[in-house]
């Protein structure tokens, strides 16, 4: 009905005549127009909240990916530290055996 009312307004009809043609009071017609304007202005906000929700979802996904990568890197560091400790122990053992050979 509001689309029909808009057409009448474009044709230059008065609001009172439009309300009468629609079979509603002038106040009802004005409330309808106000509600429509409010819903149209709220639509970009709904779009923005949808964008915010998508951004939030992407952020949560990225955090999950970073947690997995962090776990993998921690494991690699632990493996490298164990390898380093083994090499140091073997160096110390070979150094001690060299010292004993030199004394004998």
| Residue 34, CB-side half-sphere exposure with 13 Å CA sphere | 6
Q: Give the chain's end-to-end CA distance (angstroms, integer).
A: 110
Task: Extract the tokens encoding 83.
Answer: 């390898």
Kindly state the DSSP code that residue 24 receives in the 8-state scheme.
S
Domain extent at residue 80: 2-103
Sort 9 into a burial class: Cβ within 10 Å, 0-12 / 13-18 / 19+.
middle
Instruction: Tell me how many domains the chain contains.
Output: 1
pLDDT tens track for 30-45: 888 888 888 777 655 5
**Confidence band for 81, pLDDT divided at 50, 70 and 90:** very high
pTM beyond 0.75: no
In angstroms, the CA 51 to CA 70 distance is: 28
* Unique residue bearing structure tokens 């906000």: 45
């Amino acid at each position: 009905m509001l689309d029909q009312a808009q057409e009448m307004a474009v044709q230059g009809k008065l609001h009172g005549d439009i309300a009468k043609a629609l079979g509603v009071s002038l106040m009802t017609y004005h409330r309808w127009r106000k509600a429509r304007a409010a819903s149209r202005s709220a639509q970009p906000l709904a779009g923005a909240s949808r964008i915010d929700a998508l951004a939030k979802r992407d952020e949560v996904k990225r955090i999950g990916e970073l947690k997995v990568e962090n776990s993998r890197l921690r494991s690699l560091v632990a493996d490298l530290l164990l390898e380093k400790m083994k090499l140091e122990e073997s160096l110390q053992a070979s150094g001690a055996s060299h010292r004993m050979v030199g004394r004998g």
